Structure 1
Amino acid sequence: MANVTLGGTPVETIGNLPKIGSKAPNFKLTGTDLTDKTNDDFKGSRLVLNIYPSIDTGTCAQSTRTFNEKASQLENTRVLCISKDLPFAMSRFCGAEGLNNVESFTDYKTGDFGTTYGVTFTTGAFETLLSRCVVVIDTDGTVLHTEQVNEIADEPNYEAALNALK
């Protein structure tokens, strides 16, 4: 389990991120159009999984904006923003912000993504939500980069994630 902080208070996650060099675990997520997507739907694309607690927090919103801006410069790369928010909230945010270079998905139905990727909080005020993480996956499904952000209020290291794709 990962030990991180929320406002300086220690909290824990259910496990650890996948190891660099391993195959990315399978996942099933729900899109803003309410259809389910799995790893198979993204075969042949490089993926940046921008994982966070809720789009309705400042840092989560900023990470979505930043990855949206940077995604337009990446070849054959899709940025998947993943939380446990309802699809309607995610769609509303991206629509209001005019964000077209990221795709929003939710783990609200089963929570399996959070468990499989080891990112579900098991303690603290955000218990059952997803912790702030980035996972970068190559076209063949290999994990190239992971980051578990130590303090939930902090933004991820965008450059490290994007450099993993170079």
Structure 2
Amino acid sequence: MANVTFKGNPVTLIGNEVKVGDKAPNFTVLANDLSEVTLDDTKGHVRLISVVPSLDTGVCDAQTRRFNEEASKLDNVKILTISVDLPFAQKRWCGANGIENVQTLSDHRDLSFGEAYGVVIKELRLLTRAVFVVDSSDTVTYVEYVTEATNHPNYEAAIEAAKNAK
């Protein structure tokens, strides 16, 4: 598993580490209207999956805004932002911040995504910061587990990977 810290302290990640070349694990998360969403719902598209601990923090806010801005420049790419924030909080945050190009999804119910992608921080019951790119045939083409969960991901590398995925 990836070695990750949160505010400088080592944390334990629960779940299966995902690697480039793996078949992307399916998962079930909740949309802002409480409907279930799975990876299969975006089949046929490239998916950039942005994982954040909580939208109500500075780096998570900036990460989601950055991918929201980039979304309009990417063809056939769906950007999903996943956290354990409640769907109601995600909806409020998106509305207050004009986020319309990224779909925010909640993994609060059963950590289905977090465990499938190895991003659950055991000590905090939050998801660690990570970015995954999944191509239209469900193969993982890019993985970044950010080693310090309070740092930004490599936006340029993730965006380039999404552009190059088929």
TM-score, normalised via structure 2 length: 0.94
Q: How many residues align?
A: 163
Q: Is residue 54–residue 83 contact of structure 2 (8 Å, CA) maintained in 1?
A: yes
Checking the alignment, whether the CA contact within 8 Å between 1:53 and 1:130 is kept in structure 2 is yes
Contact 1:2 1:16 survives alignment (8 Å): no
More moved, 63-72 vs 110-119: 110-119
Alignment-mate amino acid for residue 141 of structure 1: D
Distance 1:119 1:16 in 2: 8
Partner SS state of residue 160, structure 1: helix
CA contact 1:149–1:155 (8 Å) conserved in 2: yes
Q: Is the 8 A contact 2:15 2:114 kept in 1?
A: no
**Counterpart in the other structure of 1:94:** 94
> Would the aligned equivalents of 1:17 and 1:148 in 2 still touch at CA under 8 Å?
no
**Equivalent in the alignment of 1:22:** 22
Unpaired runs of 5+ residues, structure 2, are none
Deviation above 2 Å: which 4+ runs of structure 1? none
2:130 matched to 1:133?
Answer: yes
Task: Please list every run of 5 or more consecutive structure 1 residues that lacks an aligned counterpart in the other structure.
Answer: none
TM-score using structure 1 length: 0.94
Identity %: 48
Distance 1:3 1:52 in 2: 17
- Deviation readout 1:14-57 (Å, 9 max, x if unpaired): 14531101110011110001100112210111101100111111
Deviations 1:108-133 (A, max 9, x none): 1111211111100123xxx2110000
Q: Who is 2:154 aligned against?
A: 157
Contact 2:132 2:140 (8 Å CA) reproduced:
yes
Q: Name the Cα RMSD after superposition.
A: 1.1
Amino acid at match of 1:43: K
